[in-house]
């Protein structure tokens, strides 16, 4: 087998194992200590493939932010999750919510991924893992599949661990509705 095939097998096995392990309760979440709910979300500024090339959490004050971390562009689960967010993008816009995807991939990979999948929301390049670590979503070389809901005032309102890509966007939309109704 070639080195690339072996690397892909390892990565796929790692992602399957990490998805299974992320069902562990929040206090024991893989990826690190989770930021506290109902407190200001960790601030960030990261390079992106859209706009002026940089996105900050503060850019979205006054809007809900769906900050989702994912392992790798062009992998099956990550592609499915991104497609579902894109499919539901108008519903997020109706709820005054911005979707931001974060992985350790670089800006060029994100640009290719967005072009390939028709994604109309920013993907952020956390190549050092610094922001993934701040959110407790770092596995040493890739981001974990976690999502954070941040309210229009910058307060972290909910955390999703153990995300199932096929239904995750629906879960997030339902939770946004609950939070907005509260």
Active-site annotation holds for 114: no
Angle of helix 107-117 versus helix 76-87 axis, rounded to 10: 60
Q: Return the structure tokens found at 24.
A: 């562990």
Q: Is 36 helix (H, G, I), strand (E, B) or coil?
A: coil
- Where residue 45 falls (left for φ over 0; alpha for ψ -120 to 50; beta otherwise) is beta
Provide the Cα torsion 56, 59, 84, 26; round to 10°.
60
What are residue 158's DSSP bridge partners? 149
Among residues 30, 46, 57, 78, the one annotated as catalytic is 78
Q: 162 by DSSP, 3-state: which?
A: coil
Contact (Cβ atoms closer than 8 angstroms) between residue 138 and residue 145: no
- Can you read off the two tokens belonging to residue 96? 């005054």
How crowded is the C-beta side of 32, counted as CA atoms within 13 Å? 17
Positions annotated as catalytic residues are 78
């Amino acid at each position: 087998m070639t080195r690339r095939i072996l690397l892909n097998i390892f990565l796929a096995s790692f992602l399957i194992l990490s998805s299974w392990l992320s069902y562990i309760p929040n206090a024991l979440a893989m990826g690190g200590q989770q930021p506290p709910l109902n407190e200001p979300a960790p601030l960030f500024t990261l390079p992106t493939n859209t706009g002026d090339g940089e996105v900050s959490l503060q850019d979205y004050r006054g809007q809900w932010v769906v900050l989702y971390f994912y392992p790798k562009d062009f992998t099956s689960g990550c592609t499915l999750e991104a497609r579902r967010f894109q499919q539901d993008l108008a519903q997020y816009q109706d709820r005054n919510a911005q979707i931001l995807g974060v992985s350790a991939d670089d800006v060029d990979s994100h640009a290719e991924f967005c072009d390939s999948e028709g994604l109309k929301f920013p993907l952020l390049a956390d190549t050092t893992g610094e922001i993934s670590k701040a959110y407790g979503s770092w596995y040493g070389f890739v981001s974990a599949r976690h999502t954070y809901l941040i309210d229009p005032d910058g307060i972290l309102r909910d955390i999703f661990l153990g995300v199932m890509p096929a239904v995750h966007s629906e879960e997030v939309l339902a939770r946004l509705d609950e939070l907005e109704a509260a």
